[in-house]
Structure 1
Amino acid sequence: MSRPLAARVPNALVLLSFLAILAWLATLVVPAGMFDVHQVGDRTLLVEGSFRYAEEPLAMPWFSEEGGSGLTNVLFEGLVSGSKWGSAIGIIAFLLVIGGAFGIIMATGAMDRAIVSMIHRSARYQDLMPPILFLLFSLGGAIFGMGEEAVAFCVILVPMMVRLGYDSLSAVCCSYVATQVGFGTSWMNPFSVAIAQGIAGVPVLSGAPLRMAIWSLFTLAGMLYLYRYGRRIRRQPELSPSYSSDQYWRDRSDQGNQAESMDNLDKGIILALVLGLVWVTWGVITKGYYIPQIAAQFMVIGLIIGIMARLGGRFTSLNQLGDQFTHGAAILMPAILVVALAKGIILLLGGDNPAQPSILNSLLYSAGNAFEGLGTQAAAVVMFWFQSLFNVLVSSGSGQAALTMPLMAPLADMLQVTRQVAVLAFQLGDGLTNIIIPTSASLVGCLGVARLEWPLWVGFIWRFTLMMMAMATLVMVIATVVGYQ
């Protein structure tokens, strides 16, 4: 009898550790490359035909005495890399603040009683909740590039979905996965479509009608998939791959079912939380708030609710409030280590700066040369799959656009593929693989909140991911046939 897939897939930290060793070995033998770049407004573009190899391999040390990149330095360097605006230190700080804030919120007990109350009120319509949530989160991903925000929503949705009779996998699917389906098929995402089209010289936000049709198709497929899975799990909860790990949430559910009904303090806390989420959404859509601002917003929400709970007698002291913040932040530590290790591997390969010697640059250049001679349809499909694989290394949408589109756009001209098709290949490849790759900070954050191991997630989501990738491959062929402009 074969073991389930989740038992055969290594832990995310173990997998990334092996990748770090392979990356270090690659620096000893694979030549690093670089491009000349020039600035057009606030965008960095590659100079066509400027690629060149460095004179010697990077040859990263196994231990860097200077405190730079090296095999044994990979975790620490990943932890301290970047800025507050992105990976890795910004994402790490974001996860710590989010975890701490919701540690306070969950400890008040208001969420438990609110969920029980909602279950009693909506029993007749429970089967519709997962697909409706999937639709809403997909819209969020499509309209304003929602991604990291799903981590915060998972804190609410995971216990709610388990109490409704589903599982934590359903909660991550109808929140985070939905955002990535929307992100990857969007017609107006400012972090992928707009940037990629600008770099490729395509009118920004052009080609929207076909993208809207693609978004509708992929979102509907996700809704139906989740609806069927959810109904099966509600009828036989023990069929859930996360049945054992969800025991934590079921224990909390049993405690919540024994709790008293919501009082005025509970209603005040829930109102504060809802208003806080409205504030966050408003900031993202209208003000362009990102990681630093969103983290600060959730810090304010957590403190206000904590003070309300202390004044209402839910916490016996301010020290208890601090303890709950620490406990909530600690729950996300495994996710933080994955984010740091993934970023450390990129640094070990030379980083993602096209103007600096990097194995990523060599990989990008070699892939571009390999595409020559392909037919238009085959070229479009290969572009999509290359972008999907490259996303494992550079999961940032804007970062991947900056690296790949300056090369893919002129390559599309050579292969007689429209630049709009090249942008579509980037967009689908960048978004859909975020559903499964362990280098996605948002995914590992959501899994950390849900107390799910990455191997278990792979065992659950691989069929859905394969379906999405097959649909995307077909879309690339159709877009080429119709001459998508």
Structure 2
Amino acid sequence: MSTGEKAKKGFKMPHLFWIMMGLLLFACLLTYIIPAGEFAVDENGKILGDQFSYLGHQNPVAPWRMFMLILQGLGDSGLVIWTVLTSGAMTAVVMATGAIDELLNWAIYKLKDKSENILITIMFVLMVYLGGFGGTDALIAVVPIGVIFTKKLKLDPICAIGVSSYATLLGFGTGPTKQFITQLMMGVPVYGAFFTMFLSMNFFMLLGLFLLLRYVKKIRKDPTKSLMWSEGWNPANMKVTAEEEAKLSQGTKLSGRTIAILVLFLGQYGILVAYPLLGGDGNYLQHLMTALALFVAIVCGFIGGFSFDKVGDEFVKGLQGLVFVGFVIGLAKVMSLVLAEGMVIHTMVYAMTRPLMGLSRAVSSIGMTAIISVVNLLIPSATSKAAILVPILKPIAETLNMDLNVAVQAFQYGDGFTNMISPFLGWTVGSCVMAGVPFPKWFKWVFPKVIAFILISFVIMYVLTESGWTAF
């Protein structure tokens, strides 16, 4: 093959390991460049945002010192890391039981004789709730179900993603259980804002459904309006094979085993929400989370018919998939240690917040949401992003006298919606491949909706901040 015939290599994001190492070295460099300074604090250790002073000397942190801080960073992040690992492993065991698959098959079977809009609505709501409470990138597996579902209704492949990954990502991005790591790192009660986030998820679910149904109505009226028409889609040529029909009809019964697994899986969140409301000690909430995760994993595994070895194998697989995420959380803590030891983190916060000090906290919370929305395009992982950004965002929020629950909500909205258009998220790009939708076509369809979601989130952030909302 000649040189001219060789395909050009496109830009590829470096592995997150190298991104983190680069950020750590950059943090060391900043301690040599940025003037050291600090805010005054009151007797309770709270930052006084209007009292800042430069130290008059540098306190640089050399790269080798940064490496020596890695073990401390990993140790200081131990509670968060192990909470992430056990929760993720529990979810992996539940997914491996097949209870989620059986629930979807049963729902589709029960809905098969309903009218089109009712079918789409119930399917969409089910997927949003699945994403909101059990969402992981493993839910890319529901895309083939969406493909068969929409093929039966003679809708285009964009609708297939619409009733699957679009819905699950919407629930995943706004669900009430999805920001517990951010809450832990911010130092606010875990699930303390459960009801607000639950209402928010349902609001965006209804909006997302409306936008999807509007598109369905448009291509029903004129199939040439479909973005996939130019790709060869034509409802007149769509047929469901006998094998696909059988797949849609296999869930004739929802087993007691699946019901028990789902009750246990969802019930743990009810316990965690109720625990502080019933007077439980908030300092032990992480201990309760870990205990429940391990208990639910074991019991659900046995209910699912797993042997002792199978339960262990699936739990280990879940741990293995998240070990690196835990390591990233520890490295992010190292970055915070470097900036703190170099006495530059307060200077950075002072420089970033000074232009905002004359603005209302509501405008600042909107700006925080917007910044995280952009960062999310490059770093879709919520856990990794929280590990990197919270050490900076938390002191900014404290300096602006912003309630930290508001900062968490800003993080959730920023973290949630741009997942749908991120070219670096395997969930999104993989969904396009599985549904046969070119990514540019998907981007064109979903981008206006993402903008609408973000703009509405700005309004919600303004109202929450101005009303003095804390968490409920």
1:218 is matched with: 204
Question: Match for residue 67 of structure 1?
Answer: none
Give the Cα separation in 2 of the matches to 1:116 and 1:29: 50
Quick one: which amino acid aligns to residue 130 of structure 1?
A: I
Query: SS of the counterpart of 1:466?
Result: helix
Corresponding residue number in structure 2 for 1:373: 355
Instruction: Give the equivalent residue in structure 2 for 1:130.
Output: 120
Offset of residue 200 of structure 1: 1.5
- The one-letter amino acid of 2:166's match is V
Provide the secondary structure at the position in 1 that maps to 2:355: coil
- The residue type paired with residue 254 of structure 1 is K
Matched with 1:59 is none
Instruction: Tell me the residue number matched to 1:156.
Output: 145
Structure 1 residue 206 and structure 2 residue 183: aligned?
no
Superposition pairs for residues 18-29 of structure 1, below 5 Å?
A: none
Contact 1:377 1:480 in 2 (8 A): yes
Whether the aligned pair in 1 keeps the contact of 2:181 and 2:386 (CA below 8 Å) is yes
SS in 1 for 2:229: coil
Amino acid at match of 1:33: A
TM-score computed with the length of structure 2 as normaliser: 0.59
Q: Distance in 2 between matches of 1:260 and 1:26?
A: 47
CA deviation map 1:407-457 (0-9, x unaligned): 322221101211111010111111111111112222122222112222221
Contact 2:329 2:384 in 1 (8 A): no
Judge conservation of contact 2:152–2:240 (CA < 8 Å) in 1: no
Which one of 453, 462, 465 corresponds to residue 477 of structure 1? 462
Relative distance call for 1:236 and 1:356 in structure 2 (3 A) is: same
SS of equivalent residue, structure 1 residue 204 = coil
Distance (Å, rounded) in 2 between the aligned partners of 1:351 and 1:206: 22
Tell me how far 1:462 sits from its aligned partner. 0.7
Structure 1 residues 284, 235: closer, same or farther in 2, change over 3 A? farther
Opposite residue 159 of structure 2, the aligned amino acid is S
Q: CA RMSD in A?
A: 5.5
Q: Indicate conservation of the 8 Å contact 1:147/1:176, yes or no.
A: no
The structure-2 alpha-carbon separation of the partners of 1:469 and 1:454, relative to structure 1 and needing over 3 Å to count, comes to: same
What secondary structure does 1:373 align onto?
helix
Distance 1:243 1:482, change over 3 A: same
> Measured at CA, do residues 413 and 131 of structure 1 come closer, stay the same or move farther in structure 2, by a change above 3 Å?
same
Return the alpha-carbon distance in structure 1 between the equivalents of residues 110 and 127 of structure 2.
23
Q: How many Å apart are 1:210 and its aligned residue?
A: 3.3
Asked if the contact 1:162/1:250 (under 8 Å) is kept, the reply is: no
2:239 is paired with a residue of what secondary structure?
A: helix
Partners of 2:128 and 2:205 within 8 A in 1: yes
What does residue 160 of structure 2 align with? Answer: 171
Query: Does structure 2 conserve the Cα–Cα contact (< 8 Å) formed by 1:180 and 1:434?
Result: yes
Indicate how the Cα distance of structure 1 residues 247 and 459 shifts in structure 2: closer, same or farther if over 3 A, else same: same
Q: Partner of 1:32: helix, strand, or coil?
A: helix
**SS, match of residue 227 in structure 1:** helix
Match of 1:353 among 315, 331, 336: 331
Q: How far apart, CA to CA, are the structure 2 residues paired with 1:28 and 1:198?
A: 25
Corresponding position of 2:227: 241
- Gaps of at least 5 residues in structure 2 are 1-7, 32-46, 53-57, 64-83, 269-291, 307-323
Call closer, same or farther: CA 1:353–1:207 in 2, change over 3 Å.
same
1:86-101 to 2 correspondence within 5 Å?
none
Match of 1:397 among 372, 379, 382: 382
Kept after mapping to 2: 8 A contact 1:352/1:403: no
Against the structure 1 CA distance between its residues 367 and 238, is the aligned structure 2 distance closer, same or farther, given a 3 Å change threshold? farther
Q: Give the alignment partner of residue 183 of structure 2, picking from 197, 200, 205.
A: 197
Question: Quick one: which amino acid aligns to residue 26 of structure 2?
Answer: A
Counterpart pick for 2:26 among 32, 39, 55: 32
Shift of 1:14: 7.0
Is contact 1:432–1:469 with CA below 8 Å preserved after alignment?
Answer: yes
TM-score, scaled relative to structure 1: 0.58
Figure out how many residues of one structure are paired with residues of the other and give that number. Answer: 365
Q: How many angstroms apart in 2 are the aligned matches of 1:211 and 1:180?
A: 15
What is the Cα deviation at residue 135 of structure 1? 2.0
Instruction: Please name the residue that 1:76 is paired with.
Output: none
Shift of 1:162: 2.8
Equivalent residue in structure 2 for 1:183, among 165, 169, 172: 172
TM-aligned CA deviation for residue 288 of structure 1: 5.3
Give the Å deviation of 1:181.
2.4
Return the letter of the residue paired with 1:353. L
**How far has the Cα of 1:223 moved from its partner?**
1.4
Q: Is the contact made by 1:130 and 1:170 (CA closer than 8 Å) also made in structure 2? A: no
- Indicate if the aligned counterparts of 1:31 and 1:54 stay in contact, CA closer than 8 A: no
Find out whether 1:428 has 2:428 as its counterpart: no
Task: Name the CA shift for 1:482/1:464 in 2 (closer, same or farther; >3 Å).
Answer: same
Question: C-alpha offsets along residues 355-412 of structure 1, whole Å, 9 cap, x if unaligned?
Answer: 5679xx99x9968842343021221111111211222232222222233223322221
Distance 1:171 1:422 in 2: 34
Which of 375, 391, 394 is the equivalent residue of 1:409?
394
After TM superposition, list the pairs within 5 Å mapping 1:213-362 onto structure 2: 213-245=199-231, 247=233, 253-254=238-239, 256=241, 259=242, 270=251, 285=266, 353-355=331-333
CA–CA distance in structure 2, aligned partners of residues 24 and 149 of structure 1: 25
Instruction: For 2:460 and 2:372, locate their aligned partners in 1 and report how far apart those are by CA, in whole Å.
Output: 15
Query: Shift of residue 222 of structure 1?
Result: 1.0
Q: How far apart are residue 482 of structure 1 and its match?
A: 0.7
> One-letter code of the match for 2:223?
P
Cα deviation 1:453-481 (Å, max 9, x = unaligned): 22221111110011001001111111111
Letter in 1 for 2:126: L
Tell me the residue number matched to 1:332.
Answer: none
CA distance in 2, matches of 1:126, 1:288: 38
